[in-house]
Amino acid sequence: MGGSGLRTAQLRWEMVSGLRRWAEGSLTDQAAVELLASWSAGCHIRPGVAWVRPCRAAGFFFLDGVALAAHAATRAGDEQRVLLLAAALLNGQPLPRRRAKTGRAVA
């Protein structure tokens, strides 16, 4: 059983590495990859998710911003905000903004 966990961890590392290679040269793609890789221990980069797809070039993966946005719509709270931000970076959309809270002191 421990072997399957180790293999999954290795696959996730290979996917992150392949995504980083794919994103080279695009600051917004790099930001989306790093956001997903660093948020919540990279739980959104794993085998079987619809938004991480293999490229034709061996060892490369790419992020599908449309699929990521569709998944984000099913989530809530901070998770949804992170996924929507990553999708906006990938899709070239305006970045989502939080509503200003009234009654807060401005520093």
Tell me what percent of the chain is helix, strand and coil, each rounded to the nearest 5. 55, 5, 35
Does this model's pTM top 0.85? My answer is no
Angle at 85 between CA 102 and CA 45, to 5 degrees: 135
Domain ranges of the chain: 2-91
In the chain, the N- to C-terminal Cα span, in Å, equals 53
For residues 59 and 16, is the Cβ–Cβ distance under 8 A?
no
User: Which residue type is seen at 45?
Assistant: I
- List the one residue out of 56, 27, 43 whose CA is nearest residue 82: 43
Side chain identity at 23, as an amino acid letter?
A
Q: Rounded CA gap, 87 and 19, in Å?
A: 14
Side-chain-side CA neighbours of 68 within 13 Å: the count stands at 26
Task: Walk along the chain (107 residues) and give the pLDDT tens digit of each residue.
Answer: 445 788 888 999 999 999 999 999 999 999 999 999 999 988 999 999 999 999 999 999 999 999 999 999 999 999 999 999 999 999 998 876 766 666 655 55
